[in-house]
Structure 1
């Protein structure tokens, strides 16, 4: 039986983030949803209004024998711009913030270490705005959001990094 671990990331519209992780060998499943806020059972409209405090996120179920958490972190940096605060390109609002929601102390430590190393080397040329918080409650998004780009026949939903 394959060991399964879970990681949760938010970096703008969850459709593009999900599509980026679905391409990773070792990712077994993705689920888009809402986390990082205070409202119980939020809807998409609640999250878009800003009233919930939640971010659009992707829960990634992965096989650590095939892909490491550090590899997932590297993918995360390539599918969004971690230097933008509460936005990704034209999508503006706290629901689009860059966020890593850790499930274990090991994930917290590794994410913190990687952010520190990226900051020290100046990889992005600006401050990294990514929040690192415990996962708390995860609310699965409505069915029509799941695998949205795949259903629409689109490969990516990337927003170019602004310079």
Structure 2
């Protein structure tokens, strides 16, 4: 059973708050050292483009709040939208997806300027700090297929880069367990409800955000200082 994050504290009760906070704060023992390290860049990637025009990437790796927060701070990204991919339009809403019985994953659609950041760099950040790609159908304290690790590629070039990078990382043994990230063609992306957009920015003191998502943003700044921007790109009015 999967409870929505907003209702989890109510369900557990205040007496269980210390245990819940300890659970979401606990690091995942994926790498030999508990501190995330910058993974090697993809050997195969799309080059920095010279032509104008935005590109899109759709990534899923647990709660979309944290994935969104990370990429909002990445230079070259112009928009990040939380939403759902992998299922039908009729079930593209938070209540339905939270049951874990739809085909949707919580995902983010990233618009980026290919003159400033490559698709390969997006994937490097995705695997280095945004989520744990070795957890099957879960991410941290969140369980269910809707929290699976997935790359929804928009074209064959993205598929080739992502497939090659996963093989590169597995071959290098940078994780203690195999990468379980799915590669699926992007059929559709459905934006999530308005209250999910820019969630970490608007709720910086919520325990879930403090213990589970803000450390990801801090790791982005620490591991990719040249690509980090302090002011996030927002989808909603501050």
Whole-Å separation in 1 of the counterparts to 2:99 and 2:201: 26
Give the superposition deviation at 1:40: 2.7
Partner of 2:220: none
Q: Deviations 1:11-56 (Å, cap 9, x if unpaired)?
A: 0000000001111100000000000123535210100012221000
Gaps of 5+ in 1: none
Query: 8 Å contact 1:39–1:52 — kept in the other structure?
Result: no
Task: Indicate the structure with greater helix content.
Answer: 2
Does 2:156 align with 1:105? yes
Instruction: Name the Cα RMSD after superposition.
Output: 1.8
- TM-score normalised per structure 1: 0.92
**Length-normalised TM-score, structure 2:** 0.64
Structure 2 gaps of 5+ residues are 1-50, 217-238
CA–CA distance in structure 1, aligned partners of residues 186 and 68 of structure 2: 17
- Residue number in structure 2 paired with 1:66: 116
In the alignment of these two chains, the number of paired residues is 160
Instruction: Describe the shift of the 1:97–1:43 C-alpha distance in structure 2 as closer, same or farther (beyond 3 A).
Output: same
Q: How many angstroms apart in 2 are the aligned matches of 1:39 and 1:12?
A: 20
The answer to whether the 8 A contact 1:27-1:60 is kept is: yes
The answer to whether structure 1 residue 3 and structure 2 residue 29 are counterparts is: no
Give the superposition deviation at 1:128.
Answer: 0.3
Bigger Cα Rg: 2
Runs ≥4 residues deviating over 4 A: none
Structure 2 CA distance, aligned partners of 1:104 and 1:31? Answer: 19
